[in-house]
Amino acid sequence: MRIKRYLKLFWAFFSFSFEAETEFRSNLIFWSFENILWMILGITSIHLIFGQVEAIAGWSKNEVFLVLFVASLFHDLCWTLIFRNLGAFSRLIRKGELDNALLKPVNTRFLLSFKILEFDHYVRIALESFLIYKYTILTTGYFSFLNLLVALFLFTCGFLIFYSIFFALTVTNIWFINLANLIDFFHTVKDLGGKPIDIFKIKRGFLYFFSFVLPVGYIATFPTEALMGQIETSKIILAPILAILSLWASQKFFNFALKYYSSASS
């Protein structure tokens, strides 16, 4: 029943966000296609690199493209679902607008994370989904729905891990009040995850850190390996453990932080 209720609420947020977004049609159209230009830049940079080398850390050009598209999809889903909400958290704290969310009989974290959705990226998401399909076939010669399911599972776990990390960092605004540039930090993390994780093998400590402490592999590398049917079982087992742990820890931290929330002058 609770899941049904939250799905219904999410649908309400989706509908209202879409209605609000379509009030400004020119803005929506402009940003929908502007985002594609960024995608073209990303593709161009890979082409330029592979003009100089045959492979990056053992990954071929098509495989690196596949990682790029999965990472871009991750980035666009984050923008659609959570960035705008979590990015606004510092404003909510500074102006005491968190009060409205705390007074509602609904999970506060859910409300803060998903209330407003963005629709600028839907064109790119559609394009990326198609390119992921195409490049999976280019790299492996086939497309397996089982591999797709495993990839989606890892992708979802990766999303939950990074959403939890980002959420926990955002919560520190309760003390620091004006950490408005956390999105820049997340872009950096996403950029790290947009490359095959094997590039970190250059230093042993790096690979360990980016596999378990800040597991950027789950952004794109591991879902890509799953699509190609090359994922290790240990990574599949570890994914939900990390996701559940990070969700639990960030929720505990949020509950603790709320004791220090002091609202703002009305």
Partner 1 sequence: MPIIKVRSLKKYYQVHEKEPGLAGSLKSLFARKYKNVKAVDGVSFTLSEGEFVGFIGPNGAGKTTTLKCLSGLLYPTSGQVDVLGFDPWERKHPFLKQISLVMGQKNQLWWDLPAMETFILNKEIYEIPDSQFKKTLNELVKLLDVKKVLNVQVRKLSLGQRMKCELIAALLHQPKVLFLDEPTIGLDVVMQKKIRDFIKEYNEKFESTILLTSHYMGDVQELCKRVIIIDKGKIVFDGNLSEIVKKYANHKFLQVVFSEKVEKKDLRKIGKVDKFDFPKATIVVKRSVASVAAAELLQSFPVADLNIEEPSIEAIIREVFTGKDLA
Q: Which stretch binds partner 1 (CB under 8 A): 5-13, 152-160, 203-211, 217-225?
A: 5-13
- Restricted to residues 28-57, the positions that interact with partner 1 (CB under 8 A) are none
Which residue from 117, 112, 55, 133 is spatially nearest to 257, judged by alpha carbons? 112
Q: Which stretch binds partner 1 (CB under 8 A): 98-106, 121-129, 167-175, 234-242?
A: 98-106
Single-letter amino acid code for the residue at 94: R
Residues 6+ apart with CB under 8 A from 101: 92, 108, 111, 112, 115
Choosing from 20, 36, 126, 152, the residue that interacts with partner 1 (CB under 8 A) is 20
Choosing from 32, 97, 228, 229, the residue that interacts with partner 1 (CB under 8 A) is 97
Choosing from 7, 16, 36, 38, the residue that interacts with partner 1 (CB under 8 A) is 16
Residue 106 is a binding residue for partner 1 (CB under 8 A): yes
CB of 117 to partner 1, least distance (A): 13
CB of 247 to partner 1, least distance (A): 20
CA distances to 14, 82, 84, 170 from 95, in Å: 25, 20, 17, 15
Beta bridge partners of 59: 56
Choosing from 99, 175, 181, 191, the residue that interacts with partner 1 (CB under 8 A) is 99
Choosing from 40, 53, 103, 146, the residue that interacts with partner 1 (CB under 8 A) is 103
Residue 91 is a binding residue for partner 1 (CB under 8 A): no
Decide: 150 and 236 in contact? Cβ < 8 Å.
yes
CB of 88 to partner 1, least distance (A): 13
Q: Which residue, chain included where needed, has tokens 């090359």?
A: 230
Which residue from 230, 232, 195, 227 is spatially nearest to 210, judged by alpha carbons? 195
Phi-psi region of 132 (alpha: psi -120 to 50; beta: other; left: phi over 0): alpha
Own/partner long-range contacts of 22-30 (Cβ < 8 Å, ≥24 apart): 28/119, 28/120
Binding positions for partner 1, rule: CB under 8 A: 5, 8-9, 12-13, 16, 19-20, 23-24, 96-97, 99-100, 102-106, 108, 258-263, 266
